[in-house]
Amino acid sequence: MPLAHKGMRVGLFGGSFNPPHEGHVLVAETAIRRLQLDQVWWMVTPGNPLKSHKELAALETRVNLSRQICEDPKIKITAFEAAHDLQFTAETLQFVKSRNSGVNFVWLMGADNLANFHHWQNWQFIAGQFPIAVIDRPGSTLSYLSSRMAKTFAHARLDETDAKRLPFLKAPAWTFLHGPRSTLSSTAIRNAAK
């Protein structure tokens, strides 16, 4: 787990990154800029429990590829979930919180995940752990209005013009960040390589 000090603002950006691409970098950099984050922990997961692992590259490969495309020193590539046998986001957030008192964490996710967020194990618990920043992705812009998560936590939505306040808010709190979008997707990259 990367080192963070009390008072820091840290984004948690988890995914299989199979493979990582410039769209992922854009999400991390958008969060750093708009939320004024000190760090983003780019958490390469052992695998998404909701997806098949048939085409999943080795964890070490995905970590190395992530390091190759991330030049910003504020982005910390890590795979600590595998070392601690953490399989679900809710477990990871509890683990991070228990070891980082006083750090202002924000969970980061691409808008493409928002539509299915309610299928994640303990999704309402996740929303209550740390504030969430949803970063726009092509084809997913309207998900912040129509998703079950957005409707359930409509009262906790922060206007994106106040996004820099998000790391300091008590969860549940979330915002949707519009901005530059990349059409790249890991699925399309894997399919093109076949």
Q: Which two tokens stand for residue 163?
A: 């996004």
So where are the chain's domains?
A: 10-74+112-121+151-194
Q: How confident is the model at residue 79 (pLDDT cuts 50, 70, 90)?
A: very high
| pTM of the predicted model as reported, rounded to 2 decimal places | 0.90
Distance CA 53, CA 55 (A): 6
pLDDT 10s digits, 92-148: 999 999 999 999 999 999 888 888 899 999 999 999 999 999 998 776 666 667 889
Q: Report the pLDDT value the prediction gives residue 25, as an integer from 0 to 100.
A: 94
- Residue-by-residue DSSP string for 16-74: --SS--HHHHHHHHHHHHHHT-SEEEEEE-S--TTS--TTPPPHHHHHHHHHHH---TT
Phi, psi of 176 (to 5 degrees): -115, 125
Q: How confident is the model at residue 189 (pLDDT cuts 50, 70, 90)?
A: low
pLDDT 10s digits, 16-58: 999 999 999 999 999 999 999 999 999 999 976 666 667 899 9
